[in-house]
Chain A
Amino acid sequence: MRKDDIYDGVTDVNDGHVTAAKNGKRKKGLFIGLASALILAAGAVGIVWWNGGFGSGTVSGKYAALVQQEAKYPQRTQYPKEGVFGVDEDTWDKWWEETSARRLTQEELDAMDKPWAALLPALIGAAGEEDAACSPANVYIALSMLAETTAGDSQKQILDFLGTESVEDQRALTKRLWNALYNDDGTYQCRLANSLWLRDDTDYEQEALRTLAEDYYASSFAGKMGGDKLNDALRDWMDRQTGGLLTDQINGISLEPETALALVSTAYFADRWEAKFVPEYTDKMTFHGESGDYQRDFMHKTYTGTYFWSDRFAGVTLSFESGGHMRFLLPDEGVSIEEVLSDPMAVAFLTEGDPWDTFEDSCRTMMITMSLPKFDVTSDLKLIDALKSLGVTDVFDPNLADFSPVLKDSRLMGNPLYVSQLLHGARVKVDEEGCEAAAYTLMAMAGAAAPADDVEFIEIDLDRPFLYSLMSDGVPLFAGAVRE
């Protein structure tokens, strides 16, 4: 490679980048004060409950304080603000060093390809024939925590599914994943949180709790299990961690008195499109849903991007302002969501950090005219059956589950322990209202053009059921299906 090759590469960068660069200043000014208006936000909660079967009612005990331990989050260097004297060089250096160090390596990404490929269809499948929203990364982290609290075959089945040899390997990988995804450096928000909800009348293995606190950044709370106070604290914690996006779902959650321990994992993400949809272009179009036709608000834009295809579907990506992007997969007419979900090519498109290699000759840079319905999809999923179908079975069986690493007694109130509930709730919202109105004025250049040597045009109307995934740091943070 030579220096003029780099010049050519720069000549060919996305038009969005070229047009945005000359409008950056105006854009900044206009966006101040609109930071809270999000184009896209998503939240997810994964919960694992251990119940001691149907216990004989209340357990007595006084609770000194609910908070046992507050997770110590890694301190991130904030992206330096541009001031009159420019950016602080040392801060920038530190920021870049940290940012590149926490990015996942190709090897790490490869190690997670298999679990993503299995989780995504299973989670979307768990929503049945409804619209689906889920967070593969969130479930992955929750499962990794579950592995920490189990032993024997219970643990082995989870590790086999996650694709690692030992719980130590899994811990290290999950910690890397957590750190790659978690972001509060002032550029965009991706908040991850884990917590443990404990009884105060039960002995827990301190080492396991310490590992969860240190390597999984899990806070722990203890109180009267099933009591209002602990349940209120749980809901409050979950609501805060998911940015208020899942309040309705969270209000319906409470821990039963016979719960031995609960693990909660949350994820929250918010970012803006790199090139906004112009609100004035949004119009009503027909969405041909699985059970009928509906009038929906469709957003439109033309931009240069990579277009993927196979004999069963087409796929495009849309970039966010601060890194990360969303992928949309439209099955060909007559091909169902279920059929594509069992197609490895489609799953690779939705989950792989770098799908370009998988697609080789069936992807190319094109000028894409996209019509995308605004959507706001919420799912409440029960995942026990889904996980059983993936080979994780023992933890759900009172006679086989082994929680010895975390619980000193193998029984609670005389009942054997097992994972009695595994809930996963998520919401993904794609919207251009709010700051989009301002975006139109400043984004007259919205969309793009890319006259490469052999420009080709493609139209993609997502006006029938489609799949989507939200990729952050090469990992499917959120995913789902829009069917109706």
Chain B
Amino acid sequence: MRDEAIIELYFARNERAIDETRRKYGGYCSALAQRLLGLREDAEECVQDTYLAAWNTIPPERPNVLRVFLGRITRNLAISRWRKNRAAKRYAALELQLDELADCVPSEASVEREYERRELGRRISAWLDTIPQGDRDLFIRRYWYAESPETLGRELGLKPNTVSQRLRRLRLALRDTLEKEGLTNEEG
């Protein structure tokens, strides 16, 4: 079924919307949740919650690309779970990803201003615009789709170690950018 038709089902408050979403994007959402959370049961719960959240938000929202819309909900639900259980260190894969992303956090001394979530997304997008497509795709595949360096290496014909090194450079480049902007914005 085409995305437009599925979205129409949501708007018509027809519960088939969820079945169709599951049929078309169930695998994709499960894979994403599984990659983020690592534990099958938790991942499945997260996916069920994704459908429910989609049901509760469409309408009023009308996703343009349903796949990304659902993926974003899954990501949000995964991080919520991590926040609730962070002390338990339950989600090894997500822990690993977050530890990597810690490289991007500007040092407190250099950034005198907190970014709002929305603005941070915009800043990261703007930074992604300044790097070549290959690097951009690699970054997104690792940190949005949560694909492992091993998988990425296999698909791109690179050694996992090479992928990791390249990702590290990208993280540091992002940190540099956020630090520079954090400083200048504070004045403005």
Most buried by A among B62, B97, B130, B133: B133
Majority secondary structure, A binding face: mixed
Do B141 and A1 have beta carbons less than 8 Å apart? no
Interface membership of B98, Cβ < 8 A? yes
* Given A86-B159, A447-B64, A3 and B101 contact (CB-CB distance below 8 Å): yes
Residues of B in contact, count (CB < 8 Å): 70
| 1/0 contact string of B102-133 vs chain A (CB within 8 Å) | 10111000010011011011111100111111
B101 touches A8 (CB 8 A): no
Cβ of B180 within 8 Å of any chain A Cβ, yes or no, is yes
Q: Is B63 an interface residue (CB 8 A)?
A: yes
Q: Which of A88-96, A258-266, A426-434 contacts B (4 or more CB under 8 A)?
A: A88-96
Say whether B64 contacts A13, CB under 8 Å: no
Give A86 to B156 CA distance when docked, in angstroms: 8
Q: CB-defined interface of B40-84 with A at 8 Å, one 1/0 digit per residue?
A: 000000000000000001000111111111011101100100110
Shortest Cβ distance from B113 into A: residue: A1
| Given A18-B68, A86-B157: A323 and B129 interface contact (C-beta under 8 Å) | yes
Instruction: State whether the Cβ of B137 lies closer than 8 Å to any Cβ in chain A.
Output: yes
Residues of B within 8 A of A19 (CB): 65, 67-68
B99 CB–A CB distance under 8 Å: yes
Instruction: Judge whether A211 is part of the interface by a CB distance below 8 angstroms.
Output: no
Measured CA separation A84–B121 after assembly (Å):
33
Chain B nearest Cβ from A35, distance in angstroms:
13
How far in angstroms is the closest Cβ of chain A from B186? 11
In the complex, whether B14 has a CB less than 8 A from a CB of chain A is: no
The closest CB in chain B to the CB of A185 belongs to B132
Q: List 19 interface pairs A-B (beta carbons < 8 Å), by A numbering.
A: A4-B79, A5-B115, A6-B102, A7-B79, A7-B97, A7-B101, A8-B79, A12-B122, A13-B128, A15-B68, A86-B157, A89-B165, A89-B166, A105-B180, A302-B64, A322-B133, A367-B64, A447-B65, A451-B73
Interface residues of A (CB under 8 A from B): 1-15, 17-22, 24-25, 79, 82, 84-87, 89, 92-93, 96, 100, 105-106, 187, 274, 302, 304, 306, 319-325, 354, 356-357, 365, 367, 445, 447-452, 455, 457
